[in-house]
Structure formats: structure tokens, C-alpha cells
Structure 1
Amino acid sequence: MVLTAPDAPVIGLAKAIHLSVAPVFLLTGISGLLGVLSNRLARIIDRANVLQEAEELSDISGSRRLRLELGVQKQRIGLINRAITCCTLTALLVSLVVAVVFISAVAWIDLAPIVVPLFVVAMLSLMGALLLLLREVQLATNQVRRRF
């Protein structure tokens, strides 16, 4: 098959779409992780609200225990907030990678020197989010163990 000049833009567009598919699947996974993180944050906030209400009604010894538990909830909230920030940054960077790859393929410009560091930083940010989630889960698990 001989390609004519009018076919070149279509081929460039097809190549751009092909190169953009894998990062789009990654975005789907990241959105799922953001959902998990948001749900965890909501549960932690709900638990903290219950503890605050219980603290207001408890005696001094019970209030001390509840304040300690509220401190752990505060740590967990901070960890999940940072994980959400890292995960959102990952999604933004991957979206930028998709845009740059698309522009690169359509414009026939080699933008690999831009794509590679963006993707590496996106993966580092994703690893950070996962490590923060792991730490938050460890705190939650330790908190449950202390109750029993």
C-alpha cells in the first residue's frame, strides 16, 4: 500500500491515539485508587466525629483514652490527605503525558525528553501515595489491636 500525502495526518492521528491508550488505562486505575482513598477518609472522619461526641460525654479517664484515639485519627487523616494529593498529582502528570504524546505524534516532534521525566515523576508520586496508604492502614490496624 502506497501512502499518499493526504494519508499522513490520519496515520499521525492513529499513532497518537495508539500511544495514548496505555496511559489512559493507568488513569482508570488511579481514579479507582482515589475512590478508595476518599472512602477511607470519609470513614476516618466519621469515626473522629463519633469519638469527639463520646469525649464530650465521658469522664476524665475515658476522655484521656478518647483524646489518644482522636490523635491517631488525626494522623490517619493527614496520611490519607497526603496520599490523595500524591494520587491527584499522579493523575495530572499522566494526563500531561497523554497530551504531550498526542502532540508529539501529531506534530511529528520528538518530545521524549519531556515525556520520560514526566512519567517517572508520575510513578514516583503514585508510589508515594501507595506508601502513605500503607502507613495509614498500619495505623488503623495497630489501633484496632490496642482495643482488644
Structure 2
Amino acid sequence: MPTLPAVSSIAQTIQLSLSPVFMLAGIGALLNVLAGRLSRVVDRTRALEMLHSRSTGPEHDRHVWELRLLDRRITIINTALFLAVTSAVLTCLVVALLFIGTLTDLHIGPAVAVTFILAMIALTLSLMSFMIEVRVSLRAIHVRADLLR
């Protein structure tokens, strides 16, 4: 019959799992920001879609340009959301693997390390996507040159 791990081993595992748990809190905050941005982009898209059919000439062209920009932003935000959720799932898996390794005496250190590296890569890519989306959004914020004359 396998021996149960000592309380000190479990306490150490809990300490080891705190960093990934803090990472999960940060990912949660990122998901909140991304969801908020997506919501605002979708609202703006719906408003422009209503104006699109009633516009003509340069105004229509401006609406089409902004709708294309908004569509690109939606795609980028969805990518960032997917990567952030992937990172969160992998981080949860890291915590679970830490406890599985402690409770079963399995030597799964390499699996824990690889899973954590994948979580960090997904988080990094998500943050890079977020940065790209912010840069794309700045294109729509500038005041049009024709209004500054």
C-alpha cells in the first residue's frame, strides 16, 4: 500500500502552486479587459452597420474603412482571448500536476515544466495580440484631417 505524503510535502506543494494561482489572477484580469474591448468593438460595429446603408460618398467610404478596421480588431481580440484562456487552462493543469505528483510520488517534473512553459508562451502571445489590437485601434481614434482644416 502506497504511503500518503506528509503534511509538510502537501504544504510545500501548496506553496509551489501559489505562483501559478497568482498568474491565474492576472490572466483573469486580462480576460476581463479583452472582453470589455470586444464588447465595445461589437457595439461600435453594430452602430456603424446601421449607418452604413444610409450613407453615401465619402461618408460611406469612411464607414466601410472603419468596419474593416473593426472586423480586424474583433479577429485579433478573439485570438488574444483564445490564447489567454489556453494559458489559464494550462496553468490550472500545472497546479493539478503538482498535486498529482505529490500525492502519487510520480516523477512528473518535466511534464510540469513543459506545461508551464506552454502556458507562458500562450500568455505571451495573448499579450502580443492585445498590443497589436491596441495599435490597430489607434488608427480609428485619430481626428480626420478634413476636420482639422
TM-score (norm 2): 0.89
Of 66, 75, 78 in structure 2, the residue corresponding to residue 69 of structure 1 is 66
What one-letter code is carried by the residue in structure 2 that aligns with 1:124?
A: I
| 1:143 CA displacement | 1.8
Structure 1: tracts of 5 or more residues without a match? 1-5
Identical residues among aligned pairs (%): 34
What one-letter code is carried by the residue in structure 1 that aligns with 2:34?
A: L
Give the aligned partner of residue 137 of structure 1: 134
Cα distance in structure 2, aligned partners of 1:132 and 1:93: 18
Cα distance in structure 2, aligned partners of 1:88 and 1:8: 32
Cα distance in structure 1, aligned partners of 2:5 and 2:38: 49
Q: 1:138 to 1:42 in 2, by over 3 A?
A: same
Range with bigger deviation, 55-64 or 24-33: 55-64
Cα distance in structure 2, aligned partners of 1:118 and 1:91: 11
Structure 2: tracts of 5 or more residues without a match? none
Alignment partner of 1:96 is 2:93: yes
Q: 1:8 to 1:68 in 2, by over 3 A?
A: closer
Cα distance in structure 1, aligned partners of 2:23 and 2:41: 27
Cα distance in structure 2, aligned partners of 1:84 and 1:73: 16
Cα distance in structure 1, aligned partners of 2:5 and 2:90: 29
Give the aligned partner of residue 43 of structure 1: 40
Contact 2:17 2:98 (8 Å CA) reproduced: yes
| 1:11 CA displacement | 2.2
Give the aligned partner of residue 53 of structure 1: 50
Give the aligned partner of residue 22 of structure 2: 25
Q: 1:8 to 1:106 in 2, by over 3 A?
A: closer
Cα distance in structure 2, aligned partners of 1:147 and 1:120: 44
Cα distance in structure 2, aligned partners of 1:48 and 1:100: 43
Contact 2:45 2:67 (8 Å CA) reproduced: yes
Q: 1:103 to 1:67 in 2, by over 3 A?
A: same
What one-letter code is carried by the residue in structure 1 that aligns with 2:135?
A: Q
